[in-house]
């Protein structure tokens, strides 16, 4: 892509400095702290926990005339919990595919959000938005300031080896260019980000390499390291990682079904699905290793107890949409892949079809427990997931993936998705 033609001019030297170092605020500050806090956004933001310190620099209230009062105010700095504050804070981590407003269906309803707090003399100032951060640190003249601003849009610079090059460079006019890489659902992604001297953050270009579809991802799944292996090996490693992540998803689903008094049949099937995914993860990991790829470890943050609408939104996105389409593709692969892979793919496809059926049965049970307003949220999430999936499939996979693993071409994937949507419309 032309927007990335000059990628060789970008530097990326590891290890990177802590993101709260080398900051040059226009007015001197004593202390800066990065915090996260979990809130429930299902109706109006409600704090579910006290803030947790992630990182800090400086000395709290160092120049305060009344240190005791300043320290108390610092301890009381939290995310606001009123209807006008749904955009306060940002999704922590480095996967901007999750960075949607907290009241949108795809992030409803419980999620952790990050924010900053600074102290200057007796003044304690929470920074909740990109604009808040720019106001304190503009002009943006250090790399760490540029990285800090990008992080408020859920974009992190990571110099780890990967399919795409990451990095940064400073332009003659003082602005910054960042190449930010991340993995979304079975795709490698890169964005080119422009940050002006006054702190305006703009995504100028986005490219991605689709690796196929994905199964059921648990809420709180952290981004995995990108594989530098061949296209086939990288796909298998990504699939193995997602199969392992599904183990966590079904374990959580089983526990949540029990806690909400779901029918025993649904609980039993969720438990069996977890066992299936353990086997899938083992077999796909072995295949990845045989092909020369390492499978990244699965890391999942705790999201705490969730209400029914949060479970329903995740189930309709991850189960009724992504996992169900993934089962269709798995069946397609089982017939089109190289002969040495067909037995494994057929076994996985059969299990995934049962998992998809479970997702739809869970959705039907949950529907009886939701209000009309909550059902509307779930349906909006389904529509958004389908739209996002169609966009991700609008890319031609490598010929190696098509011939070796039976991945559908762009046209075939579009046909499969159209058929899937037609069946959904009939139900």
Same domain? For 271 and 402 the reply is yes
pLDDT 10s digits, 359-407: 999 999 999 999 988 888 888 888 878 877 887 777 788 889 899 999 9
pLDDT score at 315? 95
pLDDT score at 232? 87
Q: Is residue 38 part of a domain?
A: yes
With a cut of 90, say whether residue 155 has pLDDT above it: no
With a cut of 80, say whether residue 413 has pLDDT above it: yes
Same domain? For 67 and 120 the reply is yes
pLDDT score at 95? 52
CA dist 217 and 411 (Å) reads 26
Same domain? For 118 and 188 the reply is yes
Sign of CA dihedral 5, 11, 12, 16: negative
Q: Is residue 384 part of a domain?
A: yes
pLDDT score at 274? 96
Percent of the chain at pLDDT exceeding 70: 87
Phi/psi class of residue 406: alpha, beta or left (left: φ > 0; alpha: ψ in -120 to 50)? left
Q: Is residue 222 part of a domain?
A: no
> Residue 305 belongs to a domain with what CATH number?
1.20.1260
With a cut of 50, say whether residue 104 has pLDDT above it: no
Average pLDDT (99-123) is: 70
Same domain? For 316 and 187 the reply is no
DSSP states along 107-151: G-SEEEEEEEEEEETTEEEEE-SHHHHHHHH-S--SHHHHHHHHH
Q: Is residue 4 part of a domain?
A: no
Question: Residue 154 is part of which domain span?
Answer: 10-210
pLDDT 10s digits, 36-46: 987 766 556 77
Please tell me the total count of domains within the chain: 2
Same domain? For 166 and 45 the reply is yes
Same domain? For 241 and 387 the reply is yes
Same domain? For 99 and 152 the reply is yes
Query: Beta partners for 111?
Result: 39
- Banded pLDDT at 86 (limits 50, 70, 90): low
With a cut of 60, say whether residue 121 has pLDDT above it: yes
- Banded pLDDT at 101 (limits 50, 70, 90): very low
Average pLDDT (350-356) is: 93
With a cut of 80, say whether residue 2 has pLDDT above it: no
With a cut of 50, say whether residue 118 has pLDDT above it: yes
Are 196 and 205 spatial neighbours (Cβ–Cβ below 8 Å)?
no
Sheet holding 176-184, edge to edge: 167-170, 176-184, 187-195, 201-210
Same domain? For 418 and 281 the reply is yes
pLDDT score at 43? 58
Same domain? For 287 and 171 the reply is no
With a cut of 70, say whether residue 69 has pLDDT above it: yes
CB atoms near residue 299 (< 10 Å): 12
- Of 175, 210, 245, the residue that ends a domain is 210
Phi/psi class of residue 84: alpha, beta or left (left: φ > 0; alpha: ψ in -120 to 50)? alpha
- Banded pLDDT at 214 (limits 50, 70, 90): low
pLDDT score at 102? 41
pLDDT 10s digits, 158-192: 887 766 789 999 999 999 999 998 765 556 678 89
Q: Is residue 5 part of a domain?
A: no
With a cut of 80, say whether residue 224 has pLDDT above it: no
With a cut of 90, say whether residue 88 has pLDDT above it: no
- Token digits for 124? 């304690």
Q: Is residue 105 part of a domain?
A: yes
Q: Give the chain's mean pLDDT.
A: 87
Q: Is residue 3 part of a domain?
A: no
Q: Is residue 349 part of a domain?
A: yes
With a cut of 70, say whether residue 76 has pLDDT above it: yes
Percent of the chain at pLDDT exceeding 90: 57
pLDDT 10s digits, 297-330: 998 888 888 899 999 999 999 999 999 999 999 9
More confident residue, 416 or 214: 416
Average pLDDT (351-356) is: 94
Q: Note the pTM of the prediction, 2 decimals.
A: 0.62
Same domain? For 158 and 283 the reply is no
Same domain? For 173 and 205 the reply is yes
pLDDT 10s digits, 6-22: 999 999 988 899 999 99
With a cut of 80, say whether residue 217 has pLDDT above it: yes
pLDDT score at 187? 63
With a cut of 50, say whether residue 105 has pLDDT above it: no
DSSP states along 313-352: HHIIIIIIIIIHHHHHHHHHHHHHS-HHHHHHHHHHHHHH
Same domain? For 243 and 321 the reply is yes
């Amino acid at each position: 892509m032309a927007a990335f033609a000059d990628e060789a001019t970008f530097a990326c030297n590891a290890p990177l400095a802590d993101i709260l170092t080398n900051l040059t605020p226009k007015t001197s500050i004593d202390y800066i702290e990065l915090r996260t806090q979990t809130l429930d956004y299902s109706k109006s933001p409600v704090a579910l926990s006290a803030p947790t310190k992630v990182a800090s620099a400086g000395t709290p209230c160092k120049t305060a005339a009344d240190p005791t009062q300043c320290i108390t105010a610092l301890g009381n700095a939290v995310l606001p919990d009123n209807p006008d504050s749904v955009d306060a804070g940002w999704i922590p981590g480095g996967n901007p595919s999750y960075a949607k407003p907290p009241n949108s269906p795809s992030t409803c309803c419980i999620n952790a959000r990050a924010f900053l707090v600074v102290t200057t003399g007796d003044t304690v100032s929470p920074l909740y938005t990109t604009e808040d951060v720019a106001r304190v640190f503009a002009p943006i003249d250090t790399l760490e300031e540029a990285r800090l601003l990008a992080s408020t849009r859920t974009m992190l610079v990571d110099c780890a080896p990967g399919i795409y090059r990451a990095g940064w460079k400073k332009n003659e006019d003082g602005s910054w260019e960042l190449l930010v890489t991340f993995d979304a659902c079975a795709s490698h992604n890169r964005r080119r980000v422009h940050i002006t001297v006054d702190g305006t953050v703009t995504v100028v270009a986005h490219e991605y390499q689709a690796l196929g579809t994905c199964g059921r991802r648990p809420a709180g799944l952290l981004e995995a390291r990108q594989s530098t292996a061949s296209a086939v090996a990288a796909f298998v490693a990504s699939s193995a990682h997602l199969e392992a992540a599904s183990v966590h998803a079904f374990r959580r689903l089983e526990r949540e079904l029990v806690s909400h008094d779901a029918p025993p049949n649904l609980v039993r099937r969720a438990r069996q699905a977890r066992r299936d995914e353990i086997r899938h993860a083992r077999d796909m990991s072995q295949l990845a290793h045989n092909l020369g790829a390492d499978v990244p470890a699965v890391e999942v943050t705790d999201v705490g107890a969730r209400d029914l609408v949060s479970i329903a939104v995740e189930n309709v996105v991850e189960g009724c949409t992504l996992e169900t389409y993934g089962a269709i593709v798995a069946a397609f692969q089982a017939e089109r892949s190289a002969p040495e892979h067909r037995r494994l793919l057929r076994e996985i496809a059969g299990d995934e079809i049962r998992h998809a059926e479970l997702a739809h049965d869970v959705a039907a049970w949950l529907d009886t427990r939701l209000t009309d307003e909550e059902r509307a949220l779930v349906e909006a999430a389904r529509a958004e997931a389908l739209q996002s999936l169609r966009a991700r499939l609008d890319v031609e996979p490598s010929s190696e993936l098509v011939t070796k693993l039976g991945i559908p071409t762009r046209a075939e994937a579009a046909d499969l998705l159209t058929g899937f949507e037609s069946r959904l419309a009939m139900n």
